[in-house]
Amino acid sequence: MIYADNAATTKLDIDAFEAMKPFLLEEYANASQPYSFSRKVKKAILEARATIAMCIGALPEEIFFTSGGTESDNWAIKGTVFQNVTAGVITSQIEHHAVMNACAAVERQGVPVVYLPVDEQGIVHQESLKKVVTDYHRIVSIMYANNEVGTIQPIRELCEIAHQHNVIFHTDAVQAVAHVPINVHDLGLDMLSASAHKFNGMKGVGFLYIRKGIEIERYSDGGMQESGMRAGTENVAGIIAMAAALKKNCDCMEAYTSHMRRLKEIILCILSENMVDFICNGAPDALPGILSISFRNADGEKLLHRLDLMGVCVSTGAACDSRNTKVSHVLEAMRVPPEYAKGTIRISLGNGNTENDAVTITNALVKILTSKSMRDKRKD
pLDDT digits (tens, 9 = 90+) for 209-232: 999 999 999 999 999 999 999 999
Amino acid found at 322: S
Helix (H, G, I), strand (E, B) or coil at 44: helix
Q: Which helix (H) or strand (E) holds 48?
A: helix 39-56
Q: How far apart are CA 178 and CA 263, in angstroms?
A: 19
CB neighbour burial string for 331-354, b if at least 16 within 10 angstroms, e if fewer: bebbebeeebbbbbbbbbbbbebe
What is the rounded CA–CA span in Å between residue 105 and residue 107?
Answer: 5
Please compute the mean of the pLDDT values over residues 252-279 and round it to a whole number: 97
| pLDDT exceeds cutoff 60 at 323 | no
pTM for the full predicted model: 0.95
Label residue 325 by pLDDT band (50, 70, 90): low
Q: What is the pLDDT of residue 86?
A: 80
Which SS3 state, helix, strand or coil, does residue 270 take? helix
pLDDT band at 371 (very low <50, low <70, confident <90, very high): confident
pLDDT at residue 314 greater than cutoff 90: yes
Topology, domain 252-379: Aspartate Aminotransferase, domain 1 (3.90.1150)
The 10s digit of each residue's pLDDT in 279-292 is: 999 999 999 999 99
**Taking Cα atoms as reference points, which of 119, 89, 125 lies closest to residue 107?**
89
The Cα 270–Cα 359 span in angstroms is 8
Average pLDDT, the chain: 95
- Domain boundaries in the chain? 14-251, 252-379
DSSP-assigned letter for residue 153: P
Matching fold, domains 14-251 and 252-379: no
Q: What's the CA angle centered on 82, arms 80 and 87, to 5 degrees?
A: 80
pLDDT given at position 194: 98
Element (H, E) at 16: helix 14-20
Instruction: Return d(Cα 273, Cα 266) in angstroms, integer.
Output: 11
Q: Please write the tens of the pLDDT for every residue from 85-105.
A: 788 999 999 999 999 999 999
Task: Report phi then psi at 159, rounded to 5.
Answer: -65, -40
pLDDT > 90 fraction of the chain, expressed in percent and rounded: 93
* Res 378: pLDDT: 54
Instruction: Give per-residue pLDDT as tens, 129-169.
Output: 999 999 999 999 999 999 999 999 999 999 999 999 999 99
Distances from the Cα of 319 to the Cα of 66, 302, 307, 328, angstroms: 28, 12, 17, 6
Going by C-beta distance under 8 Å and a sequence separation of 6 or more, which residues neighbour residue 250? 55, 178
73 neighbors 192 (Cβ within 8 angstroms): no
Q: Say yes or no to pLDDT of 319 above 60.
A: no
DSSP-H helix ranges across 68-111? 69-81, 97-108
Burial category of 112 from C-beta neighbours within 10 Å (exposed 0-12, middle 13-18, buried 19 and up): middle
pLDDT of residue 326: 78
313 an active-site residue? no
From 55, 159, 269, 320, active-site residue: 320
Which of 290, 291, 286, 315 lies closest to 303, judged by CA? 315
Distance in Å from the first CA to the final CA of the chain: 32
Residue 233 confidence (pLDDT) above 90 = yes
Q: Inform me whether the pLDDT recorded for 200 exceeds 80.
A: yes
Domain 14-251 falls under CATH 3.40.640.10: yes
